[in-house]
Structure formats: C-alpha cells, structure tokens
Structure 1
Amino acid sequence: MSEIDLSSVRYSLLAVAAGIDGVLALLEQQSEWWEGSFGAFCLLGLVKAQLERVVKEELPAS
C-alpha cells in the first residue's frame, strides 16, 4: 500500500472508533434499565480497544 492508502485506512479506523464511542455512551445509558446492554457495552469496549491498538501499533501516524 502507498502512504496515501495507509493514511486513509488510519483515518477511517479512527472514524469507526469515534462512532463506537457514541454507541458506548448509549449502551451505558441503557444499562440502567436493560441488563443485556452491559454485556454489549463490555464487548464493544474490548473491540474498540483492539481497534485502537491496531491503529497505534500497525498504522502509526507519520
């Protein structure tokens, strides 16, 4: 991949991570009255952490 492609991929993954933040906030609010949302919150939090690790270690900013 060229440098331009890698920066596009990095930008896209960071945008996905930002979107996940919004979903996590909604799940946190829902957890007050829906017990199942806590499990989804934890799972999605792990996915986001893994995504951020890949961006940091595999696609570092130039």
Structure 2
Amino acid sequence: MSVTARSVWQNCLVFIKDNIQPQAFKTWFDPIKPVRLTDKSLSIEVPSKFFYEWLEEHY
C-alpha cells in the first residue's frame, strides 16, 4: 500500500477526533481536504482565509 496525502490525512483525523469535541471536529476538520504529500509535509485545502486563520489561532 502506498502512502498518499489522503491516507496520511485520514491518520491525522483519527488522532484529532480522539482529542476534540465531536461538534468542533465536524465544524473545523471535516471540511479540510488533503492536497499534496511530499517527503516532509502534507498540504491541505481549507474553505476560506477566515477558516485558515481560525484554525491557526485555535489549533
């Protein structure tokens, strides 16, 4: 099985889901899409700049 952006993001979501409230998870993490995986980073796509700024400030 090859490692993809989607598979890495799914592993991240398992960890996140275990550590925050269900409503916060649904609001702030469900909408995020994995875009690209390189050797050292996972790029994700968020719905808006506000969304990005809120996530950066709170998580």
**TM-score bracket, shorter-length normalisation:** 0.3 to 0.5
Judging by fraction of residues, say which structure has more strand.
Answer: 2
Q: Which structure is richer in relative contact order (CA contacts within 8 A, separation 6 or more)?
A: 1
Judging by fraction of residues, say which structure has more helix.
Answer: 1
Query: Which structure would you say has the larger Rg?
Result: 1
- TM-score normalised to structure 2 length: 0.37
